Structure 1
Amino acid sequence: MTKHPAASGEATPQTQQTPQTPRGARKAAPPSRRFFAVFLLVAVIVAGFVSFYASASPDGLTKVAEDKGFASQEKDHGLKDSPLGDYGVKGVDDERLSGGLAGVIGVGLTLAVGGGLFWVVRRRSPSSKSPNSKSPSSE
């Protein structure tokens, strides 16, 4: 009984071939980078441009507070006077530009904080890993 070459761990002619990139041609970005770039572009467009067309009607919590009669007890939050308070950038007089900039800055800050946390968690020292986890070099 003969074994198939792939079952015995031997390389087959099909697995030995590697696609050749023509000289001067650029390789396509990995799918994860492409996805990230498209996601970032869509997020910036939505935050910077589409957000201006959001409904001016009150949100659900405000609507319920008005309907139930306790909206008069509403207080301003502590960050109302911050540079990005009240859905705009302080010092920018054009309402549309102010809201768009606030959205783009918010996307950037969220990306920076989320990316930073991801990087910290990913770069943990080997001693903090669980004993059952395998390192890429041991596979």
Structure 2
Amino acid sequence: MKERVITFGTFDVFHVGHLRILERARKFGNYLMVGVSTDALNFSKKGRIPFYNQDERMEIISALSCVDEVFLEESLELKRHYINIYKADVLVMGDDWAGKFDEFKDICSVIYLPRTPSISTTAVIEKIRIP
């Protein structure tokens, strides 16, 4: 049976931490689906519009060999809906979300992976910002 893995993220200013977590997520199954946060969702979560718009971020994620399918995530409250509609067997998230999605263990496995140390989109933006 084919294990279907689902994960979610903004993936703005794509960096090696994003790549590593997606590659590791893919190892939990044979098919990786990625929900990319819409611009509106990102603004509601972080108070800023992503540097790259949702279409550009979807294009970047779609181009990765470890990713099989990409869709727009419009609301954090729809996670259960996305897991069901995409028939996911496994939900993989970064460990900064540890425990926050345990409620979905009734419909799929839930795995939290360690993030790549010392890298984040915010850190990358701060590093390249011209004073």
Q: Same fold (TM over 0.5)?
A: no
TM-score class normalised by the smaller sequence: under 0.3
Q: Whose strand fraction is larger, Structure 1's or Structure 2's? A: 2
Which one has the largest radius of gyration? 1
TM-score by length of 2: 0.19
Flag the structure with more relative contact order, 1 or 2, with Cα contacts below 8 A and sequence separation at least 6. 2
TM-score by length of 1: 0.18
Q: Whose helix fraction is larger, Structure 1's or Structure 2's? A: 1
